[in-house]
A = this chain, B = another copy of it.
Amino acid sequence: MSDERALRVAEAARSVGADWALLTSADAVCYATQHTGIIEWGVSPFAGGPSLAFVSADGSVVALLVNNIEEAGARRAGAGRVLTYVGLALGERSPVADRYRAAVRNALDELGVGGVVAVEAATLSAIVAEELAARGVTAVTIDTELDRVRSTKTAVEIERLRFAAEVVDAGQKAVLAAARPGRTELEIWADVRLAMEEVAGERVPVAGDLTSGVANTAAISGWPTGRVVQEGDPVLCDLGPRVNGYWGDSCNTLFIGGEPSAAFMKLYTTTQRSVEVILETLRPGIKAADFDRKVRSVFEDAGVNNPLHIGHGIGTGVHEWPRIVPDQDVTIQEGMVLMCEPGAYDPAVGGVRLEWMYLVTANGNEVLSGFPHTLR
């Protein structure tokens, strides 16, 4: 019996008339097979192309193609049938792309892939496309349908996302202790990252921001540098660790020492009010565009600048569909896990962002994040 996620991939494949799904993005491969690829240092020099997940349209076949370096991890993950190729070995000097191509061909043969095959547009490699074409396969894109089936989470996924939220909580708790005048952003970041990795029990890739000072926080996003945090600085800490294949996310905004200006507090209290609106408004049945408008209007009414999306889905991808933006004509459903990250940004004052993870429940929402938004 395949995992529910693989069955949903099969459903998406059927809905675009495909006999197979052949997935190439790391997040979709993880969704379909539970294999967590290595991403922290970019595309491996020992890969001839993306790792591949194959799912038959009836959901009965789930297979993964990875190089020998990722094989052990894939088997531990229980990633269905695991096929491999040699990415790194002492005696191998043929181009890795040639070995990859041969492995793709073998996989298509062994699994009997043919007919109509659903592929992901942005990450399909030319080698895979060529090998499909050589078999007379018709390729169709699955992106929109895959987004849809992934947007509501299975019970297993919600557990994974709860744990990712716990990891994030540890990071946000750590930043409150670590962000002191005289320390660099990088020093603070090291404490925060360690706090998350200790809860995760492993090294984790981290998306996000750690910025300090008026100009940097007003710039919305940025990575930590050697800048020394000073009294009177806002500090914006947006943490997105990937834990066992699932991303957590969150943002808190701190203020270091002394009293914030009235102008800064206007940004802050406006954003706090917008969070209250989220808590009151986010429920099944509301359209994303209407939800966006209700939250966004808090900023418009206050006359402060909020140029971003209000939110986005999260799962094996750090930004998933749906996006909470104007004119997004999708209905919010129970089981979606959404990041809501309202914020206010003023180059003369600084930036504020208050983000939590929200699970859409039968009657409203549950905040998965366990840390308070607090200035200090």
Contacts and interface: CB of A to CB of B under 8 A. Distances in A.
Given A26-B42, A186-B194, A323 B202 contact: no
A77 to B, nearest CB: 16
A191 B126 CA distance: 42
B225 A201 contact: yes
Contact of A193 (B46, B95, B190): B190
Contacts of A42: 26-27, 37, 39, 205, 242
Nearest to A323: B93
Interface string A266-287: 0000000000000000000000
Interface stretch (A9-17, A116-124, A230-238): A116-124
Interface residues of A, number: 70
A307 B91 CA distance: 11
**Oligomer copy total:** 2
Interface string A231-261: 0000000001010000000000000000000
Contacts of A91: 325-327
Nearest to A224: B203
Contacts of A328: 93
Interface in A153-210: 184, 186-187, 189-191, 193-194, 197-198, 201-203, 205-207
A127 interface: yes
B143 A97 contact: yes
A212 to B, nearest CB: 14
Interface string A80-99: 00000000001101011110
Given A26-B42, A125-B124, A186 B190 contact: no
A238 to B, nearest CB: 12
A366 B285 CA distance: 67
B40 A40 contact: yes
A206 B242 CA distance: 16
A318 interface: yes
A320 B96 CA distance: 13
A193 B224 CA distance: 13
Contacts of A186: 194, 197-198, 202-203
Given A41-B240, A202-B224, 16 more contacts: A39-B41, A39-B42, A40-B41, A40-B206, A41-B242, A41-B318, A42-B242, A43-B123, A45-B320, A49-B123, A91-B327, A126-B129, A184-B198, A190-B191, A193-B193, A202-B225
29 contacts: A26-B42, A39-B39, A39-B41, A41-B205, A41-B206, A41-B242, A43-B123, A45-B318, A45-B319, A49-B123, A90-B308, A90-B325, A91-B325, A93-B328, A95-B143, A96-B122, A97-B121, A97-B141, A97-B143, A100-B122, A119-B126, A124-B127, A126-B129, A189-B203, A190-B190, A193-B193, A202-B225, A203-B223, A203-B224
